[in-house]
Amino acid sequence: EGLEHIIQKVFYSVFKREDSNDVRIATFDVFEALLNVDDGIPPPPPSTMNMLKTNNPTTGIVTRPFADCFKRASQNTKSNATIRGKSLRLLGKLACAYPLHMEEEATNVLQFCLDRLFKSTGSTLKESKVEFCGSLDSLRYLFEHYSHLLFHQEDEEDEENEEENEQKKKMKMQQRQQLYNVSFRESIIRLQEMTRYQIPEASLLFIASHGHLFKEQIINDGLILFRRLCRCFICKPKRIHQAAVGAAKKIINMLSSYISITTNENELNEEEEEEEKKRKTYYTTLCNYMNDLMKYGSNASFLIHEDATDGTTPMSANDVGVRSIDRKCHELAILGFGSLAGSIYKYEGVD
């Protein structure tokens, strides 16, 4: 049955029967290495992962030992918070590695993660950071195949009941907005108050992977969001900077695509004219930001002055003029100008 069969059964048994939290937590490294979803290598074939799905020949009952076990662990309020967080993350990885086998569980995994994230705000965020990060990581993997669960999928019943259909749509919109608020704002601000950085790192990785699911919010908050991400990109902690590179690329590319939309100015109605003005404002402001980053580095005016709408604070005086931070400012400016190439061509007529 292969080495995978032996590994999963042994460590599954250890996780279920061991009393020591430290030992149980250590088994997650084995499970994640077995799934191997982060290295671009296909996970073991389902035929060798017999703990994904088992059939009782006597009763005919089908069980899913892995999913059932880690679902229970993720919701057990008496268990260790680290175990709950890592269980959520592993459920997302299982859905990423074996989407067909996790199809019936995907909705539950989504709801588990959203419930945890929406409760882990404000004063409780630091206390529940392991579960918060586990939830965001889980969604990052889950949405590789199940991002449609964030949106309402109409069926025949919805067509017959318009009022109920609208309520379902509204609920999904509220979920997306809450998830946006948590991952694009609350978890990536006030970096200087943090002593550990798992939360902003998890959020930035999520943004890099699935920012496109929040297109409407990103377009509405474009400049504010850029300034937030800029703080993450140029900050001293290495793990935040590294995670912010992909997030910044994603957001700048999305804004550039929006700005680059071409219109016939002679045929625009009033609403379309306002939208084109907004695109031009975004273009001009972003270019000014990039020029300031390139010319002044950490002394760029939008970095050293507070803007309440961003939810950020000014650069620390100790960080202004630091060579490594200035270098990151230049790196971001180059990345930004590259992503804005299409917009530059639209407004300046040059490549």
**Would you state the pLDDT for residue 159?**
63
How many Å separate Cα 237 from the centre of its chain? 19
Amino acid identity, position 54 = T
Three-state DSSP state, 42: coil
**Would you state the pLDDT for residue 341?**
92
**How far, in Å, CA of 303 to CA of 234, rounded?**
10
**How far, in Å, CA of 131 to CA of 165, rounded?**
32
Q: Give the relative orientation of helices 222-234 and 238-259 as an angle to the nearest 10 degrees.
A: 150
Amino acid identity, position 21 = N
Is residue 176 within 8 A of residue 147, CB to CB? The reply is no
**Would you state the pLDDT for residue 71?**
94
**How far, in Å, CA of 341 to CA of 335, rounded?**
10
**How far, in Å, CA of 126 to CA of 295, rounded?**
37
Question: In this structure, how many other beta carbons lie within 10 angstroms of the beta carbon of residue 245?
Answer: 18
Three-state DSSP state, 205: helix
**How far, in Å, CA of 108 to CA of 163, rounded?**
25
**Would you state the pLDDT for residue 324?**
93
Q: How far is CA 257 from CA 208, 229, 319, in A?
A: 16, 18, 33
Phi, psi (rounded to 5 degrees) for 63:
-125, 160
Ranges of beta strands (E only) in 52-109 are 54-55, 62-63
The pTM score is: 0.91
Tell me the mean pLDDT per 10 residues along the chain, length 351. 76 91 94 86 82 79 88 91 95 94 94 90 62 96 96 70 85 95 90 84 97 96 94 92 96 96 80 91 96 95 79 77 94 95 85 54
